[in-house]
Chain A
Amino acid sequence: MPAIVVEGLQRSFDEVLAVQGVDLNVEEGEIFGFLGPNGAGKTTTVRMLTTLLLPTGGRATVAGHDVIKQARAVRASIGVALQEAALDPLMTGRELIRLQATLQGLPGAEGKRRADDLLERVDLAAAADRRVGGYSGGMKRRLDLAAALVHGPKVLFLDEPTTGLDPVSRKTIWEEVRTLNDEGTTVFLTTQYLEEADQLADNVAIIDSGRIVAEGTPDSLKTEIGNPHIQLQLAAGSIAEAEKVCAEVGRLLPPVDGRMVLVEATNGAADIPKVVRALDDAGIAVESLELVRPTLDDVFVAKTGHHIKVPTTSSAVASA
């Protein structure tokens, strides 16, 4: 049975249609990545699936329950990590998890036991009796995650779980998500980080301006886009010139910043000499050149014509 089924889900705010007919299917035991830029409708969609917001059209079921008509049952089956905003700075970590246990209807002793276990698991046992207000960002996220798990939910919603965290904390959260998934929890993960979706998700849906623009496994989506591209950083001289020259060698792609030129490389690395020669002939100096393999951002660009956000180049391959 699918864990989450969404059909034509819609949400408008006054005149604005923030989510315009979203269809999704998340299988049980899957990690599902919901990817898109800020303002695309990710959070709005998650809020509808977690019964915090009523859809203005369409329907959805989570863990087999309708989000509108069986909201209580949905809430009993899901765990939601709402980011650090939903923590109380005056409470201690332990108090918060135990409160969450009470909200979920767990008996006191059971709640206590689970709180202890979870705090241990997310490595917060030492800080458990300190006030949340003094926790670091990473600690708050781990606490949020632990609280979301206290009742052993079937479906876990993580809304941008690693935004603003340092790389080490991010890795820790990723490992925890994988472990949870191995234990059988379905995970619905929203993120603006391509790498996160790439690394964690079994299936991905990309949303832009309230619509799903792509759906599938990360690999299948990237294969669909197919070709790597050559990324050129120009030393000096006219971008327009360089673009003209490159356009004759291969298809141009929209640049991410002003000094860059991107050319599709249908033959992979074999296209590099062609481009270099063409620019050399035209007397255009290149500062660096890199062969970039397709990423989910490329998928995004192919489907929408713009980038999710400015990507950071992984490493400079060649410098002039």
Chain B
Amino acid sequence: MESAVALPQWRANLATIAALMARAKNELLRVPGAAIPGVLAPTIFFLGLNGVFGALTQLKGFSTGTYESYIVPVSMLQGAGFTGAAAGVNLARDIEQGWVDRLLVSPAPRWVLLAGTVLAASARALIPATFVFVIALLLGAGWPGIDGLLVTYVMVAAMAAVAACWGSGLALRFKSQSAAPLMQSGMMALVLMTTAYAPLALLQPWMRSVAEVNPVTHVIDAARQGFLGGVSWAETWPGIVALIGLLVVLGVWALREMRRTAV
């Protein structure tokens, strides 16, 4: 067979990312029932959190009457964390089974390979987020307004990308699915050691200190705006900055790990 003439690099990169994202959806569409845990888990978690800790709103200092409104953005972001971590688990499985060798042996740049996984996770995270949002609405959470909803969705997609970088980095580091709990725990800690359960003032002192330095606190506060009141730029930009920062740090690390798989 004669040697092929290749596309200009940028077009080849885009095509590769698109193809890898297309492959990622096979996981949901071609494996019966595979999508269910990922879609349902955040919703069930929301129902659980609400049922268990709902009484906290009776404490002085809670800004809203309904715990639903307070935690639905947390559940949506948690779903994003699960989805991203799951992408990491899938990557680990692909590594264990040798599939990733096919990708690594091709001339596709490493960041392109990573981008395929990460963007697929971002897109996928919107599904469980929507599911839990609809359920929450039915249960009495307030309508966040289009602007509030948009901000929340952007935070969710970006958080999923952060989680996917984390999961992918671990997958490439340990080359094993046994790292899965670490992928999921890491994201859980990141999302919940914030104002997830209660406002800053009501947190235990040590948790308050952690939440104050945890960038995801800003993400949660930004995502929560519409559900608690109105959306303002002042509340939104810290969340965006936090996500960009996390993406850069974890993305660079994951890329390093991918480059180091040959070692």
A: which residues have CB within 8 A of B? 50-54, 72-73, 75-76, 78, 80, 82-83, 85-88, 90-91, 95, 98-100, 102-108, 110, 114, 117-118, 131, 147, 149-154, 183
Contacts and interface: CB of A to CB of B under 8 A. Distances in A.
A99 B106 CA distance: 11
B226 to A, nearest CB: 38
Given A52-B104, A82-B98, A152-B4, A108 B15 contact: yes
Nearest to B9: A105
B244 interface: no
B105 A82 contact: yes
Nearest to A56: B263
A102 B107 contact: no
Interface stretch (B25-33, B55-63, B209-217, B246-254): B25-33
A88 B23 contact: yes
Contacts of B4: 104, 106, 110, 114, 150-152
Contact of B19 (A73, A102, A152): A102
Given A80-B105, A85-B97, A183-B1, A102 B23 contact: no
Interface in B1-25: 1-7, 9, 12, 15-16, 19, 23
Max chain A Cβ within 10 angstroms of own Cβ: one of B9, B26, B98, B102: B102
Which 3 residue pairs are nearest across A and B when measured between Cβ atoms? A85-B98, A105-B6, A105-B12
Nearest to A72: B107
Nearest to B13: A105
A110 B5 CA distance: 9
B262 A51 contact: yes
A149 B4 CA distance: 10
18 contacts: A78-B105, A82-B105, A83-B98, A87-B99, A88-B99, A90-B31, A95-B23, A98-B19, A100-B102, A103-B19, A105-B7, A105-B15, A105-B108, A110-B4, A118-B1, A149-B1, A151-B3, A153-B3
B106 A103 contact: yes
Contacts of A183: 1
Contacts of A83: 98
Interface in B26-62: 26-27, 30-31
Given A152-B4, A154-B3, A104 B23 contact: no
Contacts of A117: 1
Contacts of B7: 105-107
Contact of B6 (A86, A106, A131): A106
B150 interface: no
Contacts of B9: 105
Contacts of A152: 1-4
Contacts of B102: 82, 86, 100, 103, 147
Interface of B: 1-7, 9, 12, 15-16, 19, 23, 26-27, 30-31, 97-99, 101-109, 262-263
Most buried by A among B1, B7, B9, B15: B1
A76 B262 contact: no
B1 A75 contact: no
Contacts of A86: 98-99, 101-102
A98 B104 CA distance: 16
A96 to B, nearest CB: 9
Contacts of A54: 262-263
A50 B98 CA distance: 14
B30 A90 contact: yes
A110 B2 CA distance: 12
Nearest to A84: B98
Given A52-B262, A107-B7, A110-B4, A102 B101 contact: no
Nearest to B109: A72
Contacts of B12: 102, 105
Nearest to B97: A85
Contact of B101 (A52, A149, A154): A52
B8 to A, nearest CB: 9
Contacts of B103: 103
B99 A104 contact: no
Contacts of B104: 51-52
Contacts of B108: 103, 105
Contact of B107 (A76, A87, A147): A76
A232 to B, nearest CB: 44
Nearest to A131: B30
A103 B4 CA distance: 12
Instruction: Name, among A86, A98, A114, the residue most crowded by chain B CB atoms within 10 Å (CB to CB).
Output: A86
A82 B101 CA distance: 8
Given A103-B16, A150-B1, A152-B3, 17 more contacts: A54-B263, A73-B107, A75-B105, A75-B107, A76-B6, A83-B98, A86-B99, A90-B26, A90-B30, A100-B102, A102-B12, A102-B16, A104-B106, A104-B107, A106-B6, A110-B4, A131-B30
